[in-house]
Structure formats: C-alpha cells, structure tokens
Amino acid sequence: MKIAVVGGGYVGLVTGTCLAGIGHTVTIIEIDPEKVRAINTGKTPIFEPGLEDLLKKNASVRLHAEPGYGAVAGADIVFICVGTPPAADGSADLSFIRSAGMSIGNALKGTEPYCAVVTKSTVPPGTTENVVQPLVLKASGKTLQSIGFVMNPEFLREGRAVEDFMHPDRIVIGSSDRKAGDIVAAAYQPLAAPVIRTGIAAAEMIKYTSNAFLATKISFSNEIGNICKRLGIDVYEVMKGVGLDPRIGPLFLNAGAGFGGSCFPKDVAALTALAKERGEEPLLLAAALAINERQPHRMVALLEEKIGPVSGKRIAVLGLAFKDNTDDIRDSRAIPVIRELLEKGAGIVAFDPMASENMRRIFPEIEYFPSAAGALTGADGCLVMTEWPEFSSLDREFDLMAHKVIIEGRRILSCKEKEGICW
Ligand SMILES: NC(=O)c1ccc[n+]([C@@H]2O[C@H](COP(=O)([O-])OP(=O)(O)OC[C@H]3O[C@@H](n4cnc5c(N)ncnc54)[C@H](O)[C@@H]3O)[C@@H](O)[C@H]2O)c1
C-alpha cells in the first residue's frame, strides 16, 4: 500500500519505518527539516533499539521523509501521528491535530481514489469524528463516500518500540465505516496480530483507559510501597506474591519514584480534564496523579534524612531518561528531583547512558559526566532515577563517593549500601 505518516516523532517514525519494513511504500511528512534530513539519510533523530537498522534498510527504498503534504494525494492510508501535549489545564492540546487535519484535507482536494485517514495520536474520545473528520472533509471538499475515518491507537513502549510494533498484543481499529477499517486491517495483515474492531470513540477511549489503568497500577504499587517502608517490609517481596494471582498479573507492580514519559502523566491528566468537563469527578485518577507527583519529593526527603540539608552538597543523579533504553526525558521523574535539589542549593552532577544531552537543554547549569564513576566521585549522596540495566553492575564506583549514601528510586542496584525509596 501507499501510506503517508504525518509526524515523524517517536510514534510516526517507528510506525513509518516498520510499515516500510513489512512491505508498504511510506512517506513520512514532518515539519521539522532536521528530522526530515536525518530520516532520509538513514539516521534516527531518536534512540530506539533496532530502529536505525530498519531505517537504513528502507530509507530511500520504500521510505522517505518530506516536509510537504504531497504524498497524501494518492495514499491509501494517511496516519496522523502528531503530538497531543497537555494544555495548561491538563486537557489535550489538539492544535497539532487540527493543523495536520487541515493540511491533509487541502492535499486531498481534487484527488480521485478512496483514502482512509487514521488518527494514531492519543486523542480524547470524539476527536476523530468531531475535529479531524470535519476539518478534512471541509478542506478537501469531499464526502464520506471518498474518505473514511479511523482511530487506530498505538500501544508501543519507548525503548522497545520496534519490537512492540512488529509483535503487538492487539491492533485496535475503530471505524464507523467498514471499508476504511478494512483497509487499515489489511495494512497490518503481515503482522498476524489479533485485531479488535470497535467504534471510533471506543478506540480512542481504549487508549486512555489502558494508560490510566497502567498508571494507576504503578501509583497503587507506590502507595503500598510507602506503607511497606513504614512497616519494614520489602514491597518487592510482597508484589512477587501478589502478582502471581492471574487476576492481578506481575507487570507494573514495581514501586519506585513514579511514572514519567510522554504518555502516562499527560493522558491521565487529559482523561481527568475530559471527565470534569462532562461533570464527572474522577477520584481514583486524581489520586494516581497525586501519588505520582509526591514520589520524587520522597526521594529528596529520604536523602535529607540521611545527610541533612543538601545546600552546598554534591549530589550525584544516576539516570535522567524517564525509563531505560531511551533518550526521552519527557516528564522524567529526575526533573522534579533535580529542580528541588537545585532550589535547595545542592550542586548536581549527573550521568545517563543516553539522555544527558536532552536533559542539558532543561538544566544547562548542572554538570554531566560520561560515566557513573565520574559523577559519583566526591559526591555526598546519590539518587538513582532510571532502571538502566547497566546500573546493576555498579559497585566499586560507589567507593569514589565522599559519603556513601545511595538512594534508589528504581530497584536496580546490586551493591550493599543502598536504600530504596519504598523498600
Ligand atoms: N511516545 C510514545 O511512547 C507514544 C506511544 C503511544 C502513543 N503516543 C501518542 O502518539 C502521539 C505522538 O507522540 P510522539 O511521542 O511521537 O510525539 P513527538 O512529539 O515525538 O512527535 C510528533 C512529531 O510531529 C511533528 N509535527 C507536528 N505537527 C505537524 C504537522 N502539522 N505536520 C507534520 N508533522 C508535524 C513534530 O515535529 C514531531 O516530530 C501523541 O498523541 C502521543 O500521546 C505516544
């Protein structure tokens, strides 16, 4: 099939590259010229395991990037993968969606073949039918006879995105028009994954509900972890026993510094805002967010319990990415920790295997080291914020600290002298 992917960020680039990888001819439409250049030369603007190899194989063969919308005309499917960041009140900012919808409509003006316009971005229920569809139809001057609208949420996890795209546990296709949904299902056919067909708004809600449930599972584990800490019980032993119950499951029970990233915090906030707008008070979602906001401050509080006021002290922060295997720092739990430490007058030294350059844009004033040993040398305390697997082998490096006070926000270290945020 001929496929246009609008937005070449994490989701758009992975989607476009993987769709080319399974045989489609893909054009990624991206407004950032740097990203367009990088993609066309086979370089990924983001770090994602396996992505660069797949991109190199397909770039300029079945995949290329462009700043303009020309490829939309003649495409069988157009995937919208632009960002839906949080507005000031927590609701989803749909300005990128609106602008993409308008540009797609303009590009479809006067074209002949049937085309499926697919929202892949995470959007509040109703967005595809009430925002995307009218914009595209108005700008193109067409009717539902020649353009079909679909919601196909993306469930990939950063750090494992290619693997997740190629081996999805399910593909959700929400459409009001059978024909449009069938085209999208056919595009995914080589993946041989279970396909769930729903209405459009239900598909939009599936994505929000999945993220809200996973975020709540983490906050629940953190709450139990905080109680366990008071009781002197290891929450990881507890959750091992709890997670074997198939009604609960073992995943997302890892207590720690809380969830970050570009999805969970913003999606739970957007669902909360949407619920309130419709007159519903979502108590559980509000609690999941509140617990998550509190966890990073507990890291600092525990550090202060051990070393006293942090003013003038040298604090090593290990791990800046919001999770391992990515250079993404969006809403990373390291950010509120570093901000609080700086406000309290601490000197921060940091190390991350991938994400230092991204964090430098937010905190240019802190010192970044190319190794954990460099950051730990002379430190009065250390906070571990990301579960990078390589941190598990750190041991003698901690001997370089001036005072060996090590607090883990993720259960990853194997050295002896450490204390967990909630274990
Ligand atoms: N990152 C994830 O792990 C993930 C997973 C599932 C779903 N999502 C959802 O997917 C959507 C995209 O997320 P992302 O992380 O890829 O965002 P991103 O910010 O990394 O990428 C968005 C890209 O769209 C480009 N863009 C913006 N407006 C454009 C326009 N009018 N035309 C062409 N390009 C345009 C931007 O320059 C950017 O490169 C969001 O709704 C997000 O919630 C993200």
Q: What digits encode the pLDDT tens for the residues 305-332? A: 999 999 999 999 999 999 999 999 999 9
* Cα Dmax for the chain: 71
User: Two tokens at 222?
Assistant: 């953190």
Please say if the pLDDT value at position 176 is more than 90. no
Nearest-CA residue for ligand 1 atom 11 is: 121
Which residues form the catalytic set? 263
- Say whether pLDDT at 67 is over 90: yes
According to DSSP, the residues that pair with 148 across neighbouring strands are 116
Closest atom, ligand 1, to C-alpha of 11: 16
State CA 46 to chain mean position distance: 13
Exposure letters 206-220 (e unless 16+ CB within 10 A, then b): bbbebbbebbbbbbb
Q: Is residue 240 very low, low, confident or very high in pLDDT (cuts 50, 70, 90)?
A: very high
Specify the residue with its C-alpha closest to ligand 1, atom 28. 96
CA distance 184 to 117: 9
Mean pLDDT of the chain: 97
Q: Is 167 helix (H, G, I), strand (E, B) or coil?
A: coil
Instruction: Write the CATH number of the domain with boundaries 2-198.
Output: 3.40.50.720
Whether 158 lines ligand 1, by a CB cut-off of 6 Å, is: yes
- Considering the chain, tell me which residue range(s) the CATH 3.40.50.720 domain(s) occupy: 2-198, 206-423
CATH code that applies to domain 206-423: 3.40.50.720
DSSP three-state, residue 387: coil
Tokens at residue 277, please?
A: 């707008």
Distance 46 CA to ligand 1 centre (A): 12
Q: Does residue 10's CB lie within 6 angstroms of at least one atom of ligand 1? A: yes
Give 53: exposed, middle or buried? Use CB within 10 Å, 0-12, 13-18, 19+. middle
Whether residue 60 is predicted with pLDDT greater than 90 in this model: the reply is: no
